[in-house]
């Protein structure tokens, strides 16, 4: 028996990367997955692959920063399934440039997806979770919510803010049986990270240099983050709320390479 059997889970940014891995792993653990993404073709293909592997998954298209669409998605999931047990706020974007090269438009795009999106979806699912007596929200933050990166100032700011949202929501609704936690991955082998590497003058050399910084000698695989997301959504984490789990291969534990 899986750890998430018959639980209804919404996963944003489910068409690729960590979000897709979480959707796949949740389905393998018995969850009924509803994947959300802006790219309808990629999202539908990702959920179809889960179904082909024997899992239960459907896709709903939407921009996480669109208030009316977020509310409509949650209403549709409740209409179809009658409950929402898990929300994973994973959708994220970034813009690689130092602060002087960032525009107000860049700022709003990153904040809208990375922070407004989790706010809107969390707010939308809370009434149902309160009524049914509990639920779990998993927010994908980052080690960059704990430290800085000169080329990702707004991304870092949103990931730090998401930790604040996690803690505040957790303590506000703990008495309702709702647990809220965050995951802080280090570098993960995803398209988003490949985009960051590609923004550097010599992407392959830059990636190799980054990997050397990790005590493990490599960056994470998406499934390594997904397994933590399963734990946080499951009964195994029944007394875990208002905190973050760092999944970084030990990089924050070192001050510099000697």
Active-site annotation holder among 26, 155, 173, 214 = 155
E strand or H helix that includes residue 236 = none
Residue 138 and residue 233: Cα distance in Å, rounded? 7
E strand or H helix that includes residue 249 = none
Residue 56 and residue 24: Cα distance in Å, rounded? 10
Count of residues for the chain?
258
Sorted by sequence, the CB contacts under 8 Å of residue 104 that are 6+ apart come out as none
Residue with tokens 């929501």: 169
Whether 173 sits among the annotated catalytic residues: the reply is: no
> b/e string for 205-243 if b means 16 or more Cβ within 10 A?
eebeebeeebeeeebbebebbbebbbbbbbeebeeebbe
Residue 237 and residue 114: Cα distance in Å, rounded? 25
Encode 143-212 in three state secondary structure. HHHCCCCCCCHHHHHHHHHHHHHHHHHHHHHHHHCEEEEEEEECCECCHHHHHHHHCCCCHHHHHHHHHH
User: Which residues form the catalytic set?
Assistant: 155
């Amino acid at each position: 028996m899986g750890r998430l059997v018959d639980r209804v889970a919404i996963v944003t940014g489910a068409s690729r990367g960590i979000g897709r891995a979480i959707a796949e792993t949740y389905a393998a653990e018995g969850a009924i997955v509803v994947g959300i993404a802006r790219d309808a073709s990629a999202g539908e293909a990702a959920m179809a692959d889960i179904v082909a592997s024997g899992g239960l998954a459907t896709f709903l298209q939407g921009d996480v920063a669109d208030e009316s669409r977020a509310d409509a998605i949650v209403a549709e999931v409740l209409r179809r399934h009658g409950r929402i047990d898990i929300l994973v706020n994973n959708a994220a974007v970034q813009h690689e440039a130092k602060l002087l090269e960032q525009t107000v438009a860049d700022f709003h795009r990153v904040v809208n997806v990375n922070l407004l999106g989790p706010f809107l979806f969390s707010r939308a699912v809370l009434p149902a979770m309160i009524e049914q007596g509990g639920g779990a929200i998993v927010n994908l933050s980052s080690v960059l919510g704990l430290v800085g990166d000169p080329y990702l100032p707004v991304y870092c700011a949103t990931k730090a803010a998401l930790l604040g949202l996690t803690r505040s929501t957790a303590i506000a609704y703990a008495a309702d049986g709702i647990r809220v936690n965050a995951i802080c991955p280090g570098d993960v082998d995803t398209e988003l990270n490949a985009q960051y590497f590609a923004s550097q003058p010599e992407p392959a050399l830059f990636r190799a240099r980054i990997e050397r910084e990790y005590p493990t000698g490599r960056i994470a695989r998406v499934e390594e983050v997904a397994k933590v997301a399963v734990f946080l959504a499951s009964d195994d984490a029944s007394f875990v709320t208002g905190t973050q789990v760092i999944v970084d291969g030990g990089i924050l534990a070192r001050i510099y390479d000697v």
